[in-house]
Copies of this chain bind each other. A is one copy, B any other.
Amino acid sequence: MRKSIAIDMDGVMADVEAQIITYYEKQYGKKLTKKDLEGAVERQLFPEENALLNILHTPGFFRTLPVMENAIETIQNLMTDFDVYIVSAAMEFPLSLKEKYDWLEEHFPFISWKNIVLCGDKSIINTDFMIDDHSKNLDYFKGTPIMFHAFHNIHENHHKRVNNWNEVATLMQEYV
């Protein structure tokens, strides 16, 4: 039987870190680097009240996210051997619902609407694998959790880690 993978969007398929840096400079006039973000605490990085929340609520933020390097070709290849589901915690930002749908349609047109899940918490998602950058999603997952590298998770080492999409491709070959 084909195995299934739940793949997170923000921070995994989409480069949220790069987009935050772009929007922060545009809206607050300060230029950060990816290095600045590593393991940093939000209120130190963004001293302005609600800066990050304001950025995430800006119309267009999710619609124009850059695609993570090698995500498109790797996911398309994974679909040969696995049932791939896109599972994104979008409910916190209702404006993002349609933006995320349109973003997927633009960059990943080969993924059917049947395989897209926009949810709140991910505790009721039941697939064989989950690729995500957040421990809160991976910790209670019943299948095999795979942590995708992000600035906020560099100190967490209790899940198998992948640093980029090439490493996902190599790792998943073991499970075909």
Contacts and interface: CB of A to CB of B under 8 A. Distances in A.
Interface string A90-127: 01101101100110000000001111111111001111
B121 A124 contact: no
Nearest to A114: B120
Contacts of A91: 101, 113-114, 116, 118
A85 interface: yes
A131 interface: no
9 tightest A-B CB contacts, nearest first: A126-B126, A114-B120, A91-B113, A97-B97, A117-B119, A114-B121, A118-B118, A94-B101, A113-B120
Nearest to A91: B113
B119 A118 contact: yes
Identical subunits present: 2
A124 B6 contact: yes
A157 to B, nearest CB: 27
A164 interface: no
Contacts of A116: 91, 119-120
Nearest to A111: B120
Interface string A117-147: 1111100111100000000000000100000
Contacts of A126: 124-126, 142
Contact of A85 (B97, B98, B112, B124): B124
A120 B117 CA distance: 7
A4 interface: yes
Contacts of A118: 91, 97, 117-119
